[in-house]
Structure 1
């Protein structure tokens, strides 16, 4: 199934999201609707939609009716992963209690797509499957408000994945397969412990990438 084409507002939000998360713009940069409309050659409507979305995601803040960028930095990354672990731990516990064997079979199909991505060397396909894998916990929790709480942060984590180096897809696939096998035993405590390890490693890698971006000399020193 092909992904739904992004609307203009979503496209603009994606472009700005990448710039904010990768350090393409400085923290506290004023985002004026007129200037952005001219830059992207669109009316102010799509720009307004994009900025509203980024404000929801915490990447833009409103100061006296003027919008400014909020670059995450290392502290912001720490906060994001703390929030994600709290949300996802609850999602896993509820999913284990409520999902059926057939539901987990469908999650297995996602892991199978990861494996296929490794065989093809398709990083984008793997990243998409990785996001589907984790989002499945929220869906299977059957808790609408929990799903809504996760939704604003999905795009941010997609970009954070793209910022990292090309993953070892076979190893990452094996990690997700092991994660799913623990979940299927029904041991929620073990699954949450595995999530903590999974996210701790991911967070550490992103922090390393951000440090190298902030000080490229670090990368040279490590070679």
Structure 2
């Protein structure tokens, strides 16, 4: 299989609603602890309760919504949850990366190179949406190449959350990000799993820092003027 960035398929109504709510929750537009009523959300989005129920079920699987006695509440504590998400991601992705290095041929890494090339093309055409898509597929490729089905399934519930975090925080300097990802892939292809995992740690710590800054900016921008 060749891993190339492509335009996302049109989202079903439940997925559209879950995306909008996910953005609102992570950005702080909907505060932690807010009760999410199916009826109110159905009115807000002008849909039946079915798509809303699908959206809330998805957000619950991501840990962004908490079920308390059959009532659903937002469960996102800002920076504390960012720390949890990135520590979990680093653990999962480090394991995926080690297994991918063990199992992947040069041809397999050539396919991942195509994603870096797609990022470079998106940077050249100033297309941040295509850039972010290729960026996420770059990281997801480690799970595919790990040949560990359950590890890939463990990552899947959080992928949408990280897509939002990436969109909120990705650097405006796409050319520099391409260089960073190319350097990362070069380390991976060299075949030293310890060096690759160390590079992943540095990569994710920088990403987490940008996310923390973006969420703090978002929180500050919603505070009432003094």
TM-score band, normalised by shorter chain: over 0.9
Q: Which of residues 92, 95, 106 is equivalent to 1:90?
A: 95
Unaligned runs of 5+ in 1: 218-223
Higher relative contact order (CA 8 A, sep 6+): 2
Unaligned runs of 5+ in 2: 1-5
CA contact (8 A) 1:91 1:138 kept: yes
Q: Secondary structure at the match of 1:215?
A: helix
Aligned residues: 217
Alpha-carbon distance, 1:2 to partner: 4.0
Give per-residue Cα distances to partners, 1:28-64, cap 9 Å, x unaligned: 1111111111111111111111000000000000011
Give me the whole-angstrom Cα distance separating, in 2, the residues matched to 1:186 and 1:112.
21
CA contact (8 A) 2:7 2:130 kept: no
Q: Which runs of 4+ in 1 moved over 4 A?
A: none
Q: What residue in structure 1 maps to residue 137 of structure 2?
A: 132
Q: Secondary structure at the match of 1:46?
A: helix
Give per-residue Cα distances to partners, 1:155-179, cap 9 Å, x unaligned: 1111111112652111100000010
Give per-residue Cα distances to partners, 1:100-133, cap 9 Å, x unaligned: 1111101000000010011101111110000000
Q: Which of residues 30, 34, 38 is equivalent to 1:29?
A: 34
Give per-residue Cα distances to partners, 1:176-223, cap 9 Å, x unaligned: 001001111110000000000000111111111222222359xxxxxx
Give me the whole-angstrom Cα distance separating, in 2, the residues matched to 1:3 and 1:114.
15
Map 1:53-132 → 2, pairs under 5 A: 53-132=58-137
